[in-house]
């Protein structure tokens, strides 16, 4: 599965779970991925944490997390949690 298919599948799974993103929001997600040169994994990490922490899709929060994850080159959920804690977004 290539990068764009991974993200598309992830978005479809979110839709099936009840997270109904608008076409505009989905376009924004893809735009930010290209703008930040992020991998599909980084985009998925950022999107899942945005929805988890904000309880909704927040564009500014999403792109901030995406940039943070790209800069730190996170590769796993463990690294995501660690970087969120380091930045005060999660408590121990």
What is the DSSP code string of 23-75? HHHHHHHHHHHHHHT--HHHHHHHHHHHHHHHSS--HHHHHHHHHHHHHHT--
State mean pLDDT over 10-32: 94
Determine, yes or no, domain membership for 81. yes
In this prediction, residue 69 has a pLDDT band, given cuts at 50, 70 and 90, of: very high
Determine, yes or no, domain membership for 92. no
Q: What is the pLDDT of residue 2?
A: 78
For 90, the 3-state DSSP assignment is coil
80 and 56 in contact (C-beta within 8 Å)? no
Determine, yes or no, domain membership for 91. no
- Domain range enclosing 76: 3-86
Determine, yes or no, domain membership for 41. yes
pTM (two decimals): 0.91
Return mean pLDDT, the chain.
Answer: 94
Q: How many domains does the chain divide into?
A: 1
Question: Which of 43, 86, 48 is closest to 66 using CA atoms?
Answer: 43
């Amino acid at each position: 599965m290539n990068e764009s298919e991974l993200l598309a599948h992830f978005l479809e799974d979110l839709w099936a779970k009840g997270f109904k993103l608008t076409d505009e929001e989905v376009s924004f997600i893809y735009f930010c991925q290209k703008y930040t040169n992020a991998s599909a994994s980084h985009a998925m990490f950022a999107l899942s944490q945005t929805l988890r922490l904000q309880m909704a899709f927040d564009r500014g929060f999403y792109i901030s997390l995406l940039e943070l994850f790209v800069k730190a080159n996170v590769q796993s959920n463990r690294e995501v949690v660690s970087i969120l804690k380091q930045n005060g977004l999660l408590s121990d």
